[in-house]
């Protein structure tokens, strides 16, 4: 495959505008076609992103032994070391609703002494992400049609979020454009909010199976629809396969925030969402069962694809 990929043009949603005044046609189209769009006026300052950047670099610069104290064999398990998602990928998870406590439990192990700044910044970022996720859900529900906003309270009020801080280290050898930092997968979330730095490398797979670049857009964040929302909307909102390719011989940082249904939630697309005369594409399923399915299917290790919600709960027409 040759050189640079085509970039996909995604609409930019200004989330400071009230939902009811917004023209949702290009957003609806993007949610159906790509499952990806950008947002601006999200309220995350350059300064806060800058702080997150510094803190992430400090974190990943620590010796491997220190980071592994939070690894898969530890009791905390917030750190994903290299060679799980890919040789070039490592990440730290910080979970809500109390981002301060979650960050602190990792920081206490990593840093000696741990400063409260680390946890304070993550708390600020996490709380902002929760606020933004709630706003975005309102727009996304409105994309399904008038009156769908009512589902916000009844179906999405118990959502919770977690943040994954990700560091991609480049290989030592010359970079072939197709080196994957994170392989093809769909997200399991309702929605994901992503900050990618200026290096880029995020790609979405078109319905025809072609990889398209999602180029970094200054000041904007990337949003994508995940499997939970895809299934809940009966497939009307697309959860797209995506991946990260390594572009330059420089570290790449990203911050991925996953806004998810509660574990015990049974996902079942409401009749109005399915629409009259249409059939249900997914059998009802419990969220945690799907999460477990993705963890335990060998190919699905660490959200790697091969398996998606279609394999798990896809069905022929249900009565
Ligand atoms: O690092 C990125 O840009 C994307 C990360 C991602 O897709 C994920 O963590 O699910
Ligand atoms: Fe993802």
Bond prior to 113 in cis (omega within 30° of 0) = yes
Residue whose CA is at the smallest distance from ligand 1 atom 2? 254
- Residue 238: the pLDDT is 97
**Residues spanned by the domain of 104:** 12-276
Question: Which positions ≥6 away from 276 have C-beta within 8 Å?
Answer: none
Residue 67 lies in a domain: yes
For 183, the token pair is 């392989």
Supply the pLDDT for residue 306: 57
Q: How far is the CA of 114 from the centre of ligand 2 (A)?
A: 30
Confirm or reject: Cβ of 196 under 6 Å from ligand 1. Answer: yes
Whether 300 is in a domain gets the answer: no
**Number of structural domains found in the chain:** 1
Residue whose CA lies nearest to ligand 1 atom number 7: 243
Residue whose CA is at the smallest distance from ligand 1 atom 6: 256
Q: What is the CATH number of the domain that holds 33?
A: 2.60.120.330
- Nearest ligand to the C-alpha of residue 226? 2
285 lies in a domain?
A: no
Predicted pLDDT of residue 298: 56
Ligand 1 pocket mutation pick from 242, 253, 294 by most atoms within 8 angstroms of CB: 242
Is residue 316 situated within a structural domain? no
Residue in 186, 190, 51 with CA at minimum distance from that of residue 133:
190
Residuewise pLDDT in 10s, the chain (319 residues): 445 579 999 999 999 999 888 789 999 999 999 999 999 999 999 999 999 999 999 999 999 999 999 999 999 999 999 999 999 999 999 999 999 999 999 999 999 888 899 999 999 999 999 999 999 999 999 999 988 999 999 999 999 999 999 999 988 776 666 799 999 999 999 999 999 999 999 999 999 999 999 999 999 999 999 999 999 999 999 999 999 999 877 899 999 999 999 999 999 999 999 999 999 999 999 999 999 998 876 554 555 455 788 888 887 544 3
Residue nearest to atom 10 of ligand 1 (CA): 187
Q: Is 212 inside any structural domain?
A: yes
Give domain status of residue 111, yes or no.
yes
| Residue whose CB lies within 8 A of the most ligand 1 atoms, among 243, 256, 308, for a mutation test | 256
Q: What is the ipTM of this complex?
A: 0.99
CA angle centred on 252, ends 250 and 256, rounded to 5°: 175
**Could you tell me if residue 7 is inside a domain?**
no
Q: Where are the beta strands (DSSP E) in the chain?
A: 12-14, 36-40, 79-80, 89-95, 160-168, 180-185, 191-196, 202-205, 211-213, 221-225, 242-245, 252-260, 266-267, 285-286
Q: Side-chain half-sphere of 40: how many Cα atoms within 13 Å? A: 10
In a domain, 308, yes or no: no
pTM for the model:
0.94
Residue 300, pLDDT score: 47
Centre of ligand 2 to C-alpha 319, Å, is 33
């Amino acid at each position: 495959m040759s050189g640079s990929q085509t970039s996909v043009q995604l609409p930019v949603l200004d989330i400071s505008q009230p939902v009811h005044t917004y023209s949702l046609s290009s957003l609806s189209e993007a949610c159906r076609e790509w499952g990806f769009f950008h947002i601006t006026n999200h309220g995350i300052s350059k300064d806060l992103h800058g702080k997150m950047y510094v803190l992430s670099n400090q974190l990943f610069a620590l010796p491997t032994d220190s980071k592994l104290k939070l690894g898969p064999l530890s009791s905390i398990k917030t750190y994903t070391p290299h060679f799980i998602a890919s040789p070039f990928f490592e990440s730290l998870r910080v979970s809500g609703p109390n981002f301060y406590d979650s960050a602190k439990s990792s920081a206490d192990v990593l840093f000696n002494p741990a400063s409260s700044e680390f946890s304070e910044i993550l708390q600020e970022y996490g709380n902002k992400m929760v606020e933004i996720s709630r706003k975005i859900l309102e727009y996304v529900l409105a994309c399904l049609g008038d009156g769908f906003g009512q589902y916000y309270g009844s179906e999405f009020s118990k959502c919770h979020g977690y943040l994954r801080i990700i560091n991609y280290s480049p290989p030592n050898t010359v970079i072939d454009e197709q080196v994957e930092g994170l392989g093809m997968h769909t997200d399991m979330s309702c929605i994901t909010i992503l900050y990618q730095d200026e290096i880029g490398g995020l790609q979405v797979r078109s319905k025809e199976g072609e990889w398209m670049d999602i180029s970094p857009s200054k000041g904007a964040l990337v949003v994508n629809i995940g499997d939970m929302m895809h299934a809940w909307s009966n497939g009307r909102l697309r959860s797209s396969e995506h991946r990260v390719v390594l572009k330059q011989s420089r570290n790449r940082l990203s911050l991925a925030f996953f806004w998810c249904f509660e574990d015990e939630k049974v996902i079942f697309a409401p009749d109005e969402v399915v629409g009259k005369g249409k059939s249900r594409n997914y059998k009802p399923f419990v969220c945690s069962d799907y999460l477990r399915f993705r963890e335990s299917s060998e190919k699905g290790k660490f959200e790697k694809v091969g398996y998606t919600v279609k394999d798990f709960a896809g069905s022929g027409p249900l009565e």
